[in-house]
């Protein structure tokens, strides 16, 4: 009896008869020989079918079989040093589960297609080995992030997705009709996990978040997934260390468990191998100095004005000065969110940090210490024109046993784009949502 297995496990069945359930990825025909390549989601393997070695109906079923037809294949595993995975399959039986019609062939052929076409067929594009490899790395990154927090005594607490108010600024909210009221899709779970941190000490959330900014950059999605830790009694320094640990753990894990996928994607692994603690830490002031030097050297087109937020070219330039992620801390409070604690030494600065990924991938983490004072927080809410009524509960956290606390958010798609070395975040999530894309 042939054993049911997967292509990734096929090496444990050398010389034996196995059954694989998958799809026809490609077929090469050469007279009385067929060379089908099968895929099953775990990998691809080349089969060999000789006309005189199989029953005529088996040869006929495979001959001319259309790409992506679903098949159950039986064959004997043979080691072959020249094969990409190290093994080939001598096919002796095949059952076609569904034949892709000749009149309406699979739209994504193995030749090049434009990105728009591929995005329009994203539901099929995810089958390609490169896209499948990216999704496996994404899953590994998510698992590594969860393990990192779970192993350190953090409790997962899920914030709501429908919320009555803004967290990261009112200009980027998606409104939703909520019976007779107006609600918004959450931009970040932060405010809610500040509450659960006061209940449980160390918490994190992991969920979808939404930003309605009309941005078309290669780093922006309108729907993305964020992992956010929040820690009672933690300072900015504490969470900078936590962020450094999270990133090194994730990169290490991908190098250990997803090396093959990263190679499929074509990632330069030596770049990832450099990502070890400690990461460089520079203040916003130091960053501005470097940016102005960069302008004088002609590496930047415009001179950076002190006081502004960093743009994408600024982040890229700064990151290019280091071969590890760089942590930029203490930005001017006025370019950052309302909830950030001012630096007691320089109240015009916020106790915040952005972690910039190397190789031009930009900000992957943003975080801060949170305002502790009830009065100061109330004032900030007013200054930012936020509806005080909606923040009453949030202010309560400063009234009933307020403590210093800090946290950050890491965008999963930005982390995936960096670790996989992708041009654009649209390939980091199965079905990206962007300014001009809601289909499929
Ligand atoms: O810097 P952001 O806006 O910070 C917050 O939302 C905080 N409330 C997090 C916290 O302190 N708990 O977003 C955090 C991260 C960014 O560094 C980036 O990685 C990602 O979320 N991000 C996006 N990713 C994809 N598309 C977008 N439009 C993103 N906006 C932010
Ligand atoms: Mg940010």
Dist CA 137 CA 258 (whole Å): 6
Kind and range of the H or E element at 355? strand 352-357
User: Is residue 299 very low, low, confident or very high in pLDDT (cuts 50, 70, 90)?
Assistant: very high
pLDDT computed for residue 37 by the predictor: 97
The predicted-structure confidence for 67-96, as pLDDT tens digits, reads as follows 999 999 999 999 999 998 899 999 999 999
Residue 224 Cα to ligand 1 midpoint, Å, equals 9
Is residue 217 assigned to a domain? yes
Is residue 436 assigned to a domain? no
Q: Is the pLDDT of residue 180 over 90?
A: yes
* Mean pLDDT for the chain overall: 96
The predicted-structure confidence for 90-136, as pLDDT tens digits, reads as follows 999 999 999 999 999 999 998 899 999 999 999 999 999 999 999 99
* Closest residue to atom 1 of ligand 1, CA basis: 366
Is residue 112 assigned to a domain? no
Q: Is the pLDDT of residue 168 over 90?
A: no
Apex 365 CA angle, 405 and 380, nearest 5: 50
Is residue 384 assigned to a domain? yes
User: Is residue 414 very low, low, confident or very high in pLDDT (cuts 50, 70, 90)?
Assistant: very high
Last-in-domain residue among 98, 133, 161: 98
Residue in this structure with the two tokens 């026809």, named with its chain if needed: 24
pTM of the full predicted structure? 0.97
The secondary structure of 32-76 as a DSSP string is: TEEEEEEE-SS-EEEEEEEGGGS-HHHHHHHTTPPTT-EEEEEEE
- Whether residue 296 sits in one domain with residue 398: yes
For ligand 1, is residue 414 a contact (CB within 6 Å)? yes
The predicted-structure confidence for 41-75, as pLDDT tens digits, reads as follows 999 999 999 999 999 999 999 999 999 999 999 99
- Whether residue 181 sits in one domain with residue 86: no
- Whether residue 162 sits in one domain with residue 45: no
- CATH code of residue 259: 3.30.930.10
- Whether residue 223 sits in one domain with residue 84: no
Give the mean model confidence (pLDDT) for residues 174-203.
96
Is residue 105 assigned to a domain? no
For ligand 1, is residue 362 a contact (CB within 6 Å)? no
- The stretches of 217-268 forming alpha helices (DSSP H) are 236-257, 259-265
- Whether residue 285 sits in one domain with residue 191: yes
pLDDT computed for residue 41 by the predictor: 95
Contact predicate 115/88, CB 8 Å: no
Residue 414 Cα to ligand 1 midpoint, Å, equals 9
Dist CA 136 CA 417 (whole Å): 13
Is residue 115 assigned to a domain? no
- Whether residue 166 sits in one domain with residue 59: no
- Whether residue 135 sits in one domain with residue 86: no
- Whether residue 368 sits in one domain with residue 234: yes
Is residue 106 assigned to a domain? no
Residue 402 Cα to ligand 2 midpoint, Å, equals 25
Last-in-domain residue among 98, 114, 149: 98
- CATH code of residue 90: 2.40.50.140
- Whether residue 159 sits in one domain with residue 10: no
- Whether residue 82 sits in one domain with residue 170: no
For the chain, the domain total comes to: 2
Strands (E), 51-191: 70-79, 87-98, 155-156, 162-163, 175-178, 181-185
Residue 127 Cα to ligand 1 midpoint, Å, equals 29
Q: Which residues pair with 39 in a beta bridge?
A: 23, 44
Q: Which residues pair with 23 in a beta bridge?
A: 39, 70
Residue 148 Cα to ligand 2 midpoint, Å, equals 22
Q: Which residues pair with 156 in a beta bridge?
A: 204
For ligand 1, is residue 188 a contact (CB within 6 Å)? yes
* Closest residue to atom 3 of ligand 1, CA basis: 168
For residue 169, the ligand closest to its alpha carbon is 1
Question: 43: number of CA atoms within 13 Å, CB side?
Answer: 19
Buried-exposed string 312-336: b where 16+ CB fall within 10 A, e elsewhere: ebbbbbbbeeeebbbbbbbbbbeeb
Tokens matching residue 404: 């210093």
pLDDT computed for residue 169 by the predictor: 77
The arrangement of strands across the sheet holding 281-283 comes to 155-156, 202-210, 223-232, 405-411, 362-369, 352-357, 326-329, 281-283
Q: Is the pLDDT of residue 194 over 80?
A: yes
Dist CA 210 CA 214 (whole Å): 12
Residue in this structure with the two tokens 């679903």, named with its chain if needed: 70
Tell which one of 167, 185, 411, 434 to mutate to probe ligand 1, the residue whose CB is within 8 A of the most ligand atoms.
411
Is residue 81 assigned to a domain? yes
Tell which one of 228, 336, 367, 414 to mutate to probe ligand 1, the residue whose CB is within 8 A of the most ligand atoms.
414
Q: What percent of the chain has pLDDT over 90?
A: 95
Q: Is the pLDDT of residue 17 over 80?
A: yes
- Whether residue 351 sits in one domain with residue 215: yes
Q: Residue 60 is part of which domain span?
A: 3-98
The secondary structure of 406-427 as a DSSP string is: EEEEEEHHHHHHHHHT-S-GGG
């Amino acid at each position: 009896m042939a054993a049911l297995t997967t292509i990734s496990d096929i090496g444990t069945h050398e010389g034996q008869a196995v059954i694989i359930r998958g799809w026809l990825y490609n077929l090469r025909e050469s007279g009385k020989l067929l060379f089908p390549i099968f895929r099953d989601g775990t990998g691809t393997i080349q089969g060999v079918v000789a006309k005189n070695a199989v029953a005529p109906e088996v040869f006929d079923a495979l001959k001319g079989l259309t790409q992506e037809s679903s098949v159950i294949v039986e064959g004997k595993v043979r080691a072959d040093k020249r094969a990409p995975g190290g093994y080939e399959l001598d096919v002796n039986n095949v059952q076609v589960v569904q034949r892709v019609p000749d009149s309406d062939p699979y739209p994504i052929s193995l030749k090049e297609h434009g990105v728009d076409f591929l995005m329009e067929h994203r539901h099929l594009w995810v089958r390609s080995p490169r896209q499948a490899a990216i999704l496996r790395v994404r899953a590994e990154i998510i698992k590594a992030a969860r393990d990192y927090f779970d192993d350190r005594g953090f409790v997962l607490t899920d914030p709501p997705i429908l919320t009555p108010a803004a967290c990261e600024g009112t200009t980027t909210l998606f409104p939703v009709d909520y019976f007779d009221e107006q609600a918004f899709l959450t931009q970040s779970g932060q405010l809610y996990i500040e509450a659960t941190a006061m209940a449980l000490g160390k918490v994190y959330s992991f969920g979808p978040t939404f930003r309605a900014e009309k941005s078309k950059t290669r780093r922006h999605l309108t729907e993305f997934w964020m992992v956010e830790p929040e820690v009672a009694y933690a300072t900015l320094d504490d969470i900078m260390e936590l962020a450094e640990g999270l990133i090194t753990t994730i990169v290490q894990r991908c190098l250990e468990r997803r090396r093959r996928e990263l190679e499929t994607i074509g990632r330069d692994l030596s770049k990832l191998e450099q990502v070890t603690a400690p990461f460089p830490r520079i203040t916003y002031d130091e960053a501005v100095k470097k940016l102005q030097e960069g302008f004088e050297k002609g590496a930047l087109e415009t001179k950076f004005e002190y006081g502004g937020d960093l743009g994408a070219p600024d982040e890229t330039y700064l990151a290019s000065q280091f071969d590890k992620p760089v942590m930029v801390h203490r930005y001017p409070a006025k370019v950052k969110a309302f909830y950030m604690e001012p630096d007691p030494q320089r109240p015009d600065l916020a106790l915040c940090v952005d972690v910039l990924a190397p190789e031009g991938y930009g900000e992957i983490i943003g975080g801060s210490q949170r305002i502790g004072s009830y009065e100061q927080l109330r004032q900030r809410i007013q200054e930012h024109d936020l509806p005080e009524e909606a923040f009453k509960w949030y202010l309560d956290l400063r009234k009933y046993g307020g403590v210093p606390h800090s946290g950050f958010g890491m965008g999963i798609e930005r982390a995936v784009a960096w670790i996989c070395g992708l041009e654009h975040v649209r390939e980091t999530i199965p079905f990206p949502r962007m300014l001009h894309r809601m289909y499929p």
